[in-house]
């Protein structure tokens, strides 16, 4: 199984939020967009300042994030991905989610392999299903 991870999945784990996907399958490959790093680090910084989180626990979260990302195949945000994300989608979807979903769809087409989307974002999950992708998490 190939699994596309969006930022909502990693952030719920890193921040200890409820209802996080805890059981990851024995995947052949974990995939995401390079966008994942920017999104997760921005959220961690925002949470640190808003909630006055001490340095040590924040450094632990950053180390865990980098460790998780080391095990992933990261897709560069290319002109093809951005062009696909600009096209009309069958459902409402935010910009960064459109880039994530476009990355997954084009990865699937290029590799000619199925991919399952792991997300906690309801709009992202609905859009992925509209494109015929399997979804876990919402």
Task: Indicate which CATH number applies to the domain containing 112.
Answer: 3.40.50.1010
Number of domains in the chain: 1
Range of the domain at 56: 2-136
Is the four-CA dihedral 121, 11, 27, 2 of positive or negative sign?
positive
Tell me the C-alpha distance between 93 and 74, whole Å: 22
Mean pLDDT (the chain, rounded): 93
Say if residue 47's pLDDT is above 70: yes
- Lowest-pLDDT range, 31-45, 46-60, 112-126? 46-60
Residue 23 has a pLDDT of 64
Say if residue 21's pLDDT is above 90: no
Its pTM stands at 0.90
124 touches 101 (CB < 8 A): yes
Say if residue 111's pLDDT is above 70: yes
């Amino acid at each position: 199984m190939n699994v596309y991870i969006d930022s909502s999945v990693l952030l719920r784990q890193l921040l200890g939020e409820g209802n996080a996907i805890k059981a990851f399958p024995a995947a052949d490959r974990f995939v995401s967009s390079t966008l994942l790093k920017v999104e997760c680090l921005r959220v961690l910084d925002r949470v640190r300042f808003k909630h006055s989180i001490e340095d040590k626990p924040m450094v632990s979260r950053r180390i865990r994030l980098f460790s998780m990302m080391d095990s992933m195949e990261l897709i560069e945000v290319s002109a093809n991905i951005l062009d696909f994300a600009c096209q009309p989608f069958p459902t409402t979807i935010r910009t960064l989610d459109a880039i994530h979903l476009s990355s997954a769809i084009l990865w699937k087409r290029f590799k000619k392999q199925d991919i399952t989307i792991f997300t906690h974002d309801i709009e992202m999950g609905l859009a992925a299903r509209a494109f015929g992708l399997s979804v876990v998490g919402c």
